[in-house]
């Protein structure tokens, strides 16, 4: 514990590492810190997976990415989804599937504890992490203060599925709701939106202009 509290001058002089997003990614997220927790949720068939992969592609410019694909096996459909955004020549994206993680969270911690493990980590989905309590979640994330952790969640209507997921959403600095092939940032700071698939979004919303749910 520190010997004294922070003053306003301390906070004013504090330096932060941020992602220098521009264009549509800046409109969605601003220039957020490179560490912390983000939360993405949405119902099936609305473009959530595609959004997460597109987000990974832009984040790859700033560091290596580790994806724990806890819902998907390494089958042909999963491969085709990945290759709709990435190419086989893209480097620095590492994917672990359920078959490779027989001990679940313990295996993930072992991977994250490795020297030089990627600083950007995606968990898809949080429901498959077997986090039995919010404390179990906080104990886990506080072990890795220098990483950006992106938690993807299933949804029930417009809410994250399950009590732990709902609490994790409130903890996250960026809360991104996906619906109708649009992503809506509802977190702290910049709040914007991003079109994942223009044709699908136009068909869903019935208009080309931005729509906030």
pLDDT tens-place string over residues 1-42: 668 899 999 889 989 999 999 999 999 999 999 999 999 999
64's tokens:
């290596």
Averaged pLDDT for residues 50-66: 97
Say how far apart CA 132 and CA 127 lie, in whole Å: 10
pLDDT at 211: 56
**Where do the domains of the chain lie, and which CATH numbers do they carry?**
33-205 (3.40.50.300)
Q: What is the mean pLDDT of the chain?
A: 94
pTM for the full model? 0.94
75's tokens:
């089958």
Beta bridge partners of 94: 66
Q: Which residues, including other chains, have CB under 8 Å from residue 13's CB and lie 6 or more apart?
A: none
The CA angle 109-51-61, to the nearest 5 degrees, is 70
Where is average pLDDT lowest: 31-35, 57-61, 80-84, 133-137? 80-84
Collapsed DSSP state (helix, strand, coil) of residue 15: coil
* H/E run at residue 120: strand 120-124
207's tokens:
């208009």
Averaged pLDDT for residues 134-143: 98
């Amino acid at each position: 514990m520190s010997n004294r509290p922070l003053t306003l001058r301390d906070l004013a002089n504090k330096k932060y590492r941020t992602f220098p997003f521009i264009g549509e990614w800046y409109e969605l997220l601003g220039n957020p810190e490179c560490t912390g927790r983000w939360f993405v949720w949405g119902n099936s068939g609305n473009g959530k997976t595609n959004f997460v992969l597109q987000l990974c592609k832009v984040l790859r410019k700033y560091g290596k990415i580790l994806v724990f694909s806890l819902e998907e096996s390494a089958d042909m459909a999963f491969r085709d989804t990945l290759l709709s955004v990435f190419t086989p020549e893209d480097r620095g994206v590492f994917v672990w599937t359920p078959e490779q993680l027989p001990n679940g969270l313990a295996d993930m911690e072992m991977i994250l504890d490795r020297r030089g493990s990627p600083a950007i980590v995606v968990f898809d989905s949080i429901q498959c992490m077997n986090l039995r309590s919010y404390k179990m979640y906080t104990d886990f994330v506080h072990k890795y203060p220098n990483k950006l952790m992106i938690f993807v969640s299933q949804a029930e209507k417009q809410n994250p599925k399950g009590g732990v997921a709902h609490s994790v959403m409130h903890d996250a600095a960026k809360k991104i709701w996906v619906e109708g092939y649009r992503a809506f940032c509802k977190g702290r700071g910049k709040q914007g939106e991003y079109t994942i698939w223009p044709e699908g979004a136009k068909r869903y919303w019935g208009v080309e202009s931005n729509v906030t749910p």
